[in-house]
Amino acid sequence: MFQGENISVLPLDDGFVELRFDRRDATINKLDARTIDEFRKATECIATTSEVRGVLVTSAKDVFIVGADITEFSAMFQQSADAIATAVRTNDAHVTTFEDLPVPSVVAINGYALGGGLELALLGAFRVMASNARVGLPEVSLGLIPGLGGTARLSRVAGLAAAIDWVATGQSFDGRLAVAAGVVDEVVAPDELRETALAWLRHAATGEIDWRAAQRRKKVRLPISAREAADVIDRARSRIGALHDRNRPAAAIAAETMERAAVHDLEDALDHEADSFGRVARTQAAASLVQIFLNEQVLKKQVKRSAQAARPVSQAAVIGAGTMGGGIACASALRGIPTRMKDIAQARLDAGMDAARKQLAKHVESGRLGLRQADACYASITPQLGDVGLDDVDFAIEAVVEHPDVKRRVLAELEQLVPADTVLASNTSSLGIDELARSLARPEQLVGMHFFNPVPKMRLVEVVRGSRTSDVAVATAAGYAVALGKTPIIVRDCPGFVVNRVLMPYVNAFLRLLADGADFETVDRAMEGFGWPMGPAYLLDVIGMDVLDRVVDVIGAGYRDRMPPVDGSALGLMIERQRYGQKSGEGFYRYDGARAGRPSKCPSPDAHALVATLQSNGSSAFPDDVIIERMMLPMIVEAAHVLDERIVASAVELDMALVLGLGFPAHAGGALKYADWLGLDRVVAMCDRHAELGAPYVATPNMRAMAAAGAHYYPA
Summarize the confidence of residues 560-581 as an average pLDDT: 90
In a domain, 123, yes or no: yes
Residue at a domain's end among 260, 282, 304: 282
The answer on 146 and 8 residing in a single domain is yes
Specify if 292 maps to a domain.
Answer: no
For position 207, which CATH number holds?
A: 3.90.226.10
In the chain, the percentage of residues whose pLDDT exceeds 90 is 91
What would the pLDDT profile of 82-113 be if each residue is shown by its tens digit? 999 999 999 999 999 999 999 999 999 999 99
Cα 584 from chain centre: 32
Q: Quote the percentage of the chain above a pLDDT of 70.
A: 99
Count, residues in the chain: 716
Within-domain flag for 362: yes
Q: How far apart are CA 614 and CA 574, in angstroms?
A: 11
Does 300 map to a domain?
A: no
Same domain, 51 and 162: yes
Together in a domain, 233 and 317? no
pLDDT confidence of 355, banded at 50, 70, 90? very high
484 and 504 belong to one structural domain: no
pLDDT at 306: 81
Q: Output the pLDDT for position 511.
A: 96
Same domain, 516 and 635: yes
Residue 343, domain member (yes or no): yes
One domain for residues 503 and 487: no
pTM of the predicted model as reported, rounded to 2 decimal places: 0.93
pLDDT of residue 565: 78
Cβ burial 526-565 (10 Å sphere, 16+ → b, else e): bbeebbbeebbbbbbbbbbbebbbebbebbbeebeebbee
Domain final residue, candidates 436, 458, 492: 492
Q: How remote is the C-alpha of 404 from its chain's centroid?
A: 33
If asked whether residues 510 and 483 sit together in one domain, one would say: no
- 450 assigned to active site: yes
- pLDDT (0 to 100) of residue 307: 79
pLDDT band for 597, please (50, 70, 90 cuts).
low
Cβ-proximal residues to 424 (8 Å cutoff; 6+ apart), any chain: 396, 398, 411, 414, 415, 418, 440, 445, 446, 447, 473
Q: What is the pLDDT of residue 453?
A: 87
What is the model's pLDDT at position 537?
A: 98
Range of the domain at 596: 499-709
Instruction: Output the pLDDT for position 529.
Output: 97
592 belongs to a structural domain: yes
Task: Decide: 31 and 117 in contact? Cβ < 8 Å.
Answer: yes
Instruction: Name the region of 79 (left: φ>0; alpha: ψ -120 to 50; beta: rest).
Output: beta
The answer on 232 and 260 residing in a single domain is yes
Q: Is residue 404 part of a domain?
A: yes
Catalytic residue (one of 450, 608, 641, 690): 450
Of the candidates 347, 351, 346, the residue with the CA atom closest to the CA atom of residue 324:
351
pLDDT of residue 478: 95
What is the mean pLDDT of the segment spanning 476-483?
94
Domain count, the chain: 3
pLDDT digits (tens, 9 = 90+) for 314-336: 999 999 998 899 999 999 999 99
What is the chain's mean pLDDT, rounded?
95
Residue 289 lies in a domain: no
User: At 431, which CATH number?
Assistant: 3.40.50.720
Other residues' Cβ atoms within 10 Å of the Cβ of residue 182 = 15
Higher pLDDT, 564 or 157: 157
**Helical segments of 438-544, H only:** 471-483, 499-515, 520-530, 536-543
User: 468, 492, 516 — which closes off a domain?
Assistant: 492
Task: Say if residue 552 is in the same domain as residue 649.
Answer: yes
Assess whether 488 and 505 both reside in one domain: no
Is the domain of 13 the same as that of 158? yes
Q: Are residues 90 and 222 in the same domain?
A: yes
DSSP state of 704: H
Please give the single-letter amino acid code of residue 249.
Answer: P
Weakest-pLDDT range from 254-263, 301-310, 602-611? 301-310
Q: Is residue 74 very low, low, confident or very high in pLDDT (cuts 50, 70, 90)?
A: confident
Which of 305-309, 486-490, 644-648 is predicted with the least confidence, judged by mean pLDDT?
Answer: 305-309
